[in-house]
């Protein structure tokens, strides 16, 4: 008898979670390299009686929208953006490789290229990239080769190649926070369609208008569900009142 | 409902963003100022259903799990050490560095601070000092008899003494360089201090390998680009507004739930 209310309750639960996801997207609308998350709803069908079926709402999954974000020039020589598919590799404190699209890098006191959390950025050989103290200019080619001009010299010395790798199943990557991802998959080198852009960062791919309209939709659906539950409740109330009168 | 606290992290982040931008704009005409940028990272994620977990006994796995992120956090505010423009002042004691390096200044407590602001003056004993009266290290003393001071690109300070035809060498300026200048700690008044992140300084004469040259009669302007800052300000304000809308909506959702008739 309360099936209607329970179905609506399942919808409300799912909508609350969808709201959390939208809130996270909006909170990260200025986070470099952030990928928005979408929610996938699904139905769970139950047959309490023969001939009767109830479709409950379940929030089946969240998925990462891996569409590229706009590339914004910053004028900082240590900012890198990946054009097309691919991830930078950084070495975590536990000696496991993490993947990131946030190319806002810095140098540490040993001259190693690190991300903002201080984790060293890896070269294609898996070692950190170290720049000599006397570096006066840093350049990076489209395919990730880092060259440094030493002591205002005329020639550029090659320092290493930043690893930019492709991961086939990006949905299976676990977000760790701090723009880092982990995966069990063995990455492959990127092809010619991807490249590295120096002096620019990839902006988050959150579209504020889409998120705002999603939020309105979520809110209205939630309101509707609440109203329906209220109506269902008063219908039951009425039924009880009327039925009890006839029996007396 | 997590949306409330998630949006709160978003508002806090944008507030910091606006603070950094406003400091850049406030220092638009500060000599030798380097602009900063606030960088953000996503916070931790809650795994409600893990990616790749089994969805049936026959080995089917979930292709994309159920992960809810918990907001945003400021990762760093970092200085962008791009060279500023040189503006000509024609003041012989205004020195700009064209290239890498910092002037060294002895603070009253005896420690060394680093600066790109070369608007120097002379104190009552003829010593080269900053606008705050702190001595340049190594110091150069200009005798009262000197009528004109020349500083050449390699940092030699030469003085013309009345009645003499050739210039006298008064001293040699030294610059300090860091492997990671972004790691220097800003202490205000255009001074920076060494940290473990910056590494220890290497000193040398201007124009030596790895060091920039000194330009007399010029000052380095701030590297703040006003158009970029204003654009960033607009985007920060919009983001702040959107986060507050999220709080509003989440609040309304809770209020609808509260008003359900029983």
At B71-103, the pLDDT tens digits run: 999 988 888 888 899 999 999 999 999 988 999
- The residue-averaged pLDDT of A31-43 equals 88
- Taking the CA of residue B16 and the nearest CA in chain A, the distance in Å comes to 12
Q: How near does any CA of chain A get to the CA of B127, in Å?
A: 31
DSSP per position, B128-188 = EE-TT-PEEES--B--TTEEEEEE-TT-EEEEEETT-SSPEEEEE--EEE-S-GGGSEEEE
Q: Do B68 and A134 touch (CB under 8 A)?
A: no
Residue A1 confidence class, pLDDT cut points 50, 70, 90: low
> Can you give the pLDDT at residue A242?
87
Taking CA–CA distances from A102, the nearest residue in chain B reads B41
Taking a C-beta distance cutoff of 8 angstroms, is the pair B192, B103 a contact? no
**What residues in A contact B209, CB-CB < 8 Å?**
134, 151-152
Average pLDDT over residues A81-93: 91
Q: What was the pLDDT predicted at B52?
A: 67
The pLDDT score that the predictor gives to residue A50 is 76
Ranges B56-65, B111-120, B192-201, B238-247: which has the least confidence: B56-65
Inter-chain CB proximity B44 and A177 less than 8 Å:
yes
The predicted model gives A153-168 an average pLDDT of 82
Is the predicted pLDDT of residue A218 greater than 80, yes or no?
yes
By Cβ distance, the residue of B2, B13, B210 closest to A136 is: B210
3-state secondary structure of A90: strand
Nearest chain A alpha carbon to B2: A20
Interface contact B242-A29, CB threshold 8 A: yes
pLDDT value of position B257: 84
CA distance readout (Å), A138 to A159, B27, B41, B194, B222: 10, 27, 25, 23, 22
**Block residue for tokens 């390299």:** A33
Q: Are B61 and B55 in contact (CB under 8 A)?
A: yes
- Say what the pLDDT of residue A247 is: 57
- A75, A237, B257 from B262: Cα distances, Å: 60, 10, 11
Chain A interface includes B10 (CB < 8 A): yes
Quick one: pLDDT band at residue B35, thresholds 50, 70, 90? very high
What's the average model confidence in pLDDT over A51-73?
A: 85
Angstrom distance (rounded) from CA B56 to CA B210: 63
According to the model, what pLDDT value does residue B109 have? 92
The percentage of chain B sitting over the pLDDT mark of 70, rounded to a whole number, equals 95
Confidence band, pLDDT 50/70/90 cuts, at residue A151: low
Inspect the interface and report whether the beta carbons of B82 and A226 lie closer than 8 Å.
no
Residue B260 has pLDDT above 80, yes or no: no
Residue B42 has pLDDT above 70, yes or no: yes
Give the mutation candidate from A17, A18, A20, A229 for the B interface (greatest B CB count, under 10 A): A20
The pLDDT value recorded for residue A133 is 73
Higher-scoring residue by pLDDT: B62, B244: B244
CA–CA min distance A143, chain B (Å) = 24
Q: How many CB atoms lie within 10 A of CB B88?
A: 11
- Taking the Cβ of residue B46 and every Cβ of chain A, the question of whether any pair is shorter than 8 Å is answered with no
Rounded CA gap, B74 and B69, in Å?
Answer: 15
**% of chain A surpassing 70 pLDDT:** 96
* pLDDT reported for residue B68: 85
pLDDT tens track for B156-169:
999 998 888 888 89
Judged by average pLDDT, the poorest of A21-25, A151-155, A191-195 is: A151-155
Q: Which of B94, B81, B97 is nearest to B120 (CA)?
A: B94
Confidence of residue A152 (pLDDT cuts 50, 70, 90): low
> Has residue B56 got a pLDDT over 80?
no
Interface contact flag, B69 A133, Cβ < 8 Å: no
Alpha-carbon gap, residue B103 to B117, rounded angstroms: 8
pLDDT confidence of residue B199: 80
The DSSP symbol for B213 reads E
Say yes or no for a CB contact (<8 Å) between A31 and B68.
Answer: no
pLDDT of residue A49: 79
Q: Is the pTM of this model over 0.80?
A: yes
Mean pLDDT (whole number) for B234-245:
93
Q: What is the mean pLDDT of residues B23-44?
A: 92
Measured distance between the N- and C-terminal CA atoms of chain A, rounded to whole angstroms: 23
Task: Quote the CA–CA distance of B191 and B117 in Å, as a whole number.
Answer: 8
Q: Does A234 sit within 8 Å of B253, measured CB to CB?
A: no
Which band of pLDDT confidence, cut at 50, 70 and 90, is reported for residue B10? very high
The mean pLDDT value for B214-242 works out to 93
- Give the model's confidence band at A246: pLDDT under 50 very low, under 70 low, under 90 confident, else very high: low
Written as six digits, the tokens of A209 are 């208008």
| Rounded Cα gap, residues A245 and A237, in angstroms | 12
Do B260 and A230 count as a contact with CB atoms less than 8 A apart? Answer: yes
Q: Give Cα separations from A2 to A7, A8, A18, A235, B32 (angstroms).
A: 9, 10, 25, 11, 71
- Of B40, B49, B65, nearest to A31 by CB-CB distance is B40
Given this model, what pLDDT does residue A248 score?
53
**CA neighbours closer than 13 Å in the CB half-sphere of residue B216:** 16
Nearest chain A residue to B241 by CA: give it.
Answer: A26
Q: Across residues B134-150, what is the average pLDDT?
A: 90
The reported pLDDT for the residue numbered B197 is 81
Pairing label, strands B218-220, A37-46:
unpaired
């Amino acid at each position: 008898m309360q099936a209607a209310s329970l179905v609506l309750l399942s919808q409300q639960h799912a909508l609350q979670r969808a709201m959390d996801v939208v809130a996270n997207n909006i909170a990260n609308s200025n986070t470099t390299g952030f990928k928005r998350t979408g929610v996938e709803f699904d139905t769970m069908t139950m047959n309490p009686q023969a001939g009767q079926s109830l479709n409950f709402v379940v929030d089946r999954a969240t998925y990462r929208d891996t569409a590229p974000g706009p590339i914004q020039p910053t004028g900082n020589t240590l900012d890198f953006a990946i054009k097309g598919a691919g991830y930078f590799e950084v070495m975590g404190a536990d000696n496991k490789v993490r993947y990131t699209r946030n190319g806002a890098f810095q140098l540490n006191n040993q001259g190693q290229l690190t991300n903002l959390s201080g984790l060293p950025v890896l070269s294609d050989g898996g070692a950190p990239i170290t720049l000599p103290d006397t570096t006066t200019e840093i350049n990076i080619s489209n395919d990730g080769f880092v060259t440094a001009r030493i002591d205002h010299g005329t020639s550029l010395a090659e320092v290493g190649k930043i690893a930019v790798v492709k991961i086939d199943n990006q949905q299976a990557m676990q977000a760790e926070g701090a723009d880092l991802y982990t995966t069990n998959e063995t990455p492959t080198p990127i092809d010619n369609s991807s490249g590295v852009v120096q002096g620019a960062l990839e902006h988050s791919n959150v579209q504020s208008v889409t998120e705002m309209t999603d939020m309105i939709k979520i809110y209205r659906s939630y309101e509707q569900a609440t109203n329906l539950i209220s109506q269902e409740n008063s219908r039951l109330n009425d039924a009880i009142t009327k039925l009890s009168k006839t029996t007396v | 409902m997590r949306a409330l606290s998630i949006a709160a992290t978003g508002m806090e982040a944008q507030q910091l963003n606006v603070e950094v931008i406003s400091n850049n704009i406030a220092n638009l005409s500060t000599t030798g100022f380097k602009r900063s940028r606030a960088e953000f990272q996503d916070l931790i994620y809650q795994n409600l259903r893990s990616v790749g977990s089994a969805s049936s006994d026959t080995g089917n796995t979930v292709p994309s799990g159920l992960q809810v992120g918990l907001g945003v956090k400021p990762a760093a505010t970092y200085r962008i050490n791009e060279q500023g423009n040189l503006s000509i002042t024609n003041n012989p004691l205004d020195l700009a560095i064209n290239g890498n390096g910092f002037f060294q200044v002895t603070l009253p407590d005896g420690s060394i601070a680093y600066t790109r602001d070369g608007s120097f003056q002379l104190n009552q004993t003829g010593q080269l000092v900053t606008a705050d009266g702190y001595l340049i290290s190594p110091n150069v003393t200009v005798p009262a008899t000197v009528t004109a001071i020349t500083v050449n690109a390699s940092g030699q300070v030469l003085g013309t003494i009345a009645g003499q035809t050739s210039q006298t060498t008064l001293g040699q300026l030294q610059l300090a360089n860091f492997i990671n200048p972004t790691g220097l700690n800003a202490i205000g008044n255009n001074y920076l201090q060494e940290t473990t992140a910056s590494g220890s300084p290497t000193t040398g004469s201007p124009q030596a390998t790895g060091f920039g040259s000194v330009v007399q009669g010029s000052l380095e302007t701030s590297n703040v680009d006003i158009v970029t800052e204003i654009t960033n300000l607009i985007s920060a304000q919009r983001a702040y507004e959107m986060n507050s809308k999220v709080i509003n909506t989440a609040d309304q959702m809770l209020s609808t739930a509260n008003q359900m008739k029983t």
